[in-house]
Amino acid sequence: MFLFFLSSGLFLGWSLGANDAANIFGTAVGSRMIRFKTAALLTSLFVILGAVISGSGATHTLGALGEINALAGAFMVALSAALTVYLMTTVGYPVSTSQAIVGAILGWNFFSGSLTDYHSLIKIVSTWVVCPILAALFAILLYKIVGWIIFRFKLHMLILDAATRYGLVLAGILGAYALGANNIANVMGVFVSVSPFTEISVFDLFTFSAAQQLFFLGGLAIALGVFTYSKRVMMTVGKGIFRLSPEAAFVVVIAHALVLFLFASQRLADFLTSHGLPALPLVPVSSSQAIVGAVVGIGLLKKGRGIRWRRLGGISTGWVSTPVIACAVCYVSLFFLQNVFEQQTFKPVPYMLTSAAMERINTASPSAQKALTPLAGQRFATAVKFRSAVLQQGDFSQKELDLILESAELFFLQVKKEVIAGLDREWFSTEQIKAIKELEGKVFKHKWRFNQALAGLSPDWRPTEDDPGLTSEIQNKLTYLHSRFRIEKAKQP
């Protein structure tokens, strides 16, 4: 059954390879600096390496939009995103797998009655606008710099041609590795917590974790998509919007990489924040939008002559429609999967203001605790129903509302020995593992109580405002542990 459900993730990987390979070598192939077969081979190889070697960090960074908690639901979220990406690929439009996944997760949220973090959603959507604009600006600046270097040093045409080819190959390799490392989370991330795979040791030289085995399968699916169906989208990016010179193709790939770095670097964000400067939000951005924005930037530098505006309009329409289509497809498909095929697409997460929850709320806001007294002890089936009941009791600030929702969520956890044994020792520190072992066998009714217990046992589990990067990493680890230790109420010892 797991392998059957995993097929949707493999399909999504194939769709990603068929579409997003254009972001890596599309401009090089379109400008005839690199042959398609060479580009496909390099992309496939380094996508797999990036997924297996560096994919775990992106996968553990779970989004705040929704937490898929059932295998059948994960199957349909991945399948809905894959179908949407495939649909856009058939018409030759470069779209974002991240956009498709966001839309599918929203569909799951609506169907399951889970709350959507609209603050996070607005932040992500805003980057869909900022990303191509930044890429265009970088491309314009870099093109001027490259033009100045060529003019200043009067490079011979043969030397320039060779340097450009090597530059495109190197940029493409780095881009392919990053694609595997960052986007394997979109392909296989929803399956990590339910994977039946176990750790494999190869000749006592190195070990493949269960997650790495999933990433390898996902990487192979991406590689297959690159070889079988990516050429059309590559030509759309490389030639369909604006015909690029080899030097412009190199600039576009570098501009694309810079934009992805700005939205992904925790160190850069911490540096800017520590110096009182605004930092870009650390959210996944679309590599497709970055590439297209950079291509348009070069076209605008040429005063817009040669830009195929109709083609660009079609691509922009695809960006808008992708999350909407994925959301609708996911919602309708979940209905049929649950009501016709009788599969559990989500595990209900009830809410109740227990005595512990009321005490926690009272410590932070006595007035809020007093207003919620009529709801104490009542059980609500979904977050949406509970939030609606809370809002009827009075006006609460967003901070108070977040605290109430977090405190009342009933999420039963049991710290099991076999789960502890399977934790990634490279991701969790020795002190963190030690603290988890001290809780072995214990059962918790709320996630926040489990978090507090760990924080009381080790400073490695205590977030700090002075180090936002560390705080974010701790939260990602806690979210992962919640999914691994979760039990049904009926299964409590």
Judge whether residue 241 has pLDDT over 60: no
What is d(CA 266, CA 269) in angstroms, rounded to the nearest whole number? Answer: 5
Provide mean pLDDT across the span 231-249.
68
pLDDT at 231 (0 to 100): 78
- Give 62's pLDDT tier (boundaries 50, 70, 90): very low
Contacts of 12 (CB under 8 A, 6+ apart): 78, 79, 81, 82, 85, 97, 186, 187, 221
Provide mean pLDDT across the span 227-239.
72
Separation in Å, CA 362 to CA 202, 359, 365, 371, 404: 54, 5, 5, 10, 10
For the purposes of burial, counting CB atoms within 10 Å of the CB of 313, is it exposed (0-12), middle (13-18) or buried (19 or more)?
exposed
Judge whether residue 449 has pLDDT over 80: yes
pLDDT at 387 (0 to 100): 93
Query: Tell me: the pLDDT tens digits for 207-227?
Result: 677 777 888 998 999 989 888
- Give 263's pLDDT tier (boundaries 50, 70, 90): confident
- Give 452's pLDDT tier (boundaries 50, 70, 90): very high
Residue 18, amino acid: A
Query: Tell me: the pLDDT tens digits for 96-125?
Result: 787 888 899 899 999 998 888 777 788 778
Which residues, listed in sequence order, are joined to residue 376 by a DSSP beta bridge?
Answer: 353
**Cβ count within 10 A of residue 311:** 16
Structure tokens at 34: 């690199």
For the purposes of burial, counting CB atoms within 10 Å of the CB of 401, is it exposed (0-12), middle (13-18) or buried (19 or more)?
middle
What is d(CA 281, CA 179) in angstroms, rounded to the nearest whole number? Answer: 19
Provide mean pLDDT across the span 21-42.
79
- Mean pLDDT is highest, among 165-179, 242-256, 327-341, 475-489, for 327-341
Query: Tell me: the pLDDT tens digits for 282-297?
Result: 666 777 788 889 888 9
- Tracing tokens 């009941």 back to the chain, one arrives at 389
pTM, whole model, 2 decimals? 0.79
- Give 236's pLDDT tier (boundaries 50, 70, 90): low
pLDDT at 80 (0 to 100): 93
Judge whether residue 61 has pLDDT over 50: no
pLDDT at 137 (0 to 100): 95
Separation in Å, CA 265 to CA 257, 260, 271: 12, 9, 10
Task: Check residues 193 and 473 and name the one with the higher pLDDT.
Answer: 473
Judge whether residue 54 has pLDDT over 80: no
Separation in Å, CA 328 to CA 12, 108, 339: 17, 10, 17
Cα dihedral 208→213→215→218 (10° resolution): 150
CB 414 within 8 A of CB 489: no
**Cβ count within 10 A of residue 370:** 13
Q: What is the mean pLDDT of the chain?
A: 83
Task: Check residues 360 and 492 and name the one with the higher pLDDT.
Answer: 360
pLDDT at 145 (0 to 100): 93
Closest C-alpha among 110, 99, 462, 427 to residue 283:
99
Sign of the four-CA dihedral 258, 264, 267, 270: positive
Least confident of 60-74, 114-128, 174-188, 334-348: 60-74
Identify the three-state secondary structure at position 26.
helix
- Give 408's pLDDT tier (boundaries 50, 70, 90): very high
Query: Tell me: the pLDDT tens digits for 314-345?
Result: 778 888 899 999 999 999 999 999 999 889 89
Q: Detail the DSSP E strand segments found in 314-376.
A: 351-352
Structure tokens at 168: 């495109």
Residue 61, amino acid: T
What is d(CA 390, CA 319) in angstroms, rounded to the nearest whole number? Answer: 36
pLDDT at 428 (0 to 100): 87
What is d(CA 251, CA 181) in angstroms, rounded to the nearest whole number? Answer: 23
Q: 264: left (phi > 0), else alpha (psi -120 to 50), else beta?
A: alpha
Structure tokens at 101: 């996944």
| Residue 16 φ/ψ, nearest 5 degrees | -65, -45
Q: Detail the DSSP E strand segments found in 34-126.
A: none
pLDDT at 493 (0 to 100): 46
- Tracing tokens 């390879």 back to the chain, one arrives at 17
What is d(CA 47, CA 16) in angstroms, rounded to the nearest whole number? Answer: 11
Query: Tell me: the pLDDT tens digits for 2-17?
Result: 778 888 889 888 888 8
Closest C-alpha among 373, 403, 317, 319 to residue 124:
319
pLDDT at 325 (0 to 100): 93
Identify the three-state secondary structure at position 117.
coil
The Cα angle at residue 163 between residues 158 and 166, in degrees rounded to 5: 125
Separation in Å, CA 269 to CA 59, 129, 167, 292, 446: 20, 20, 28, 25, 32
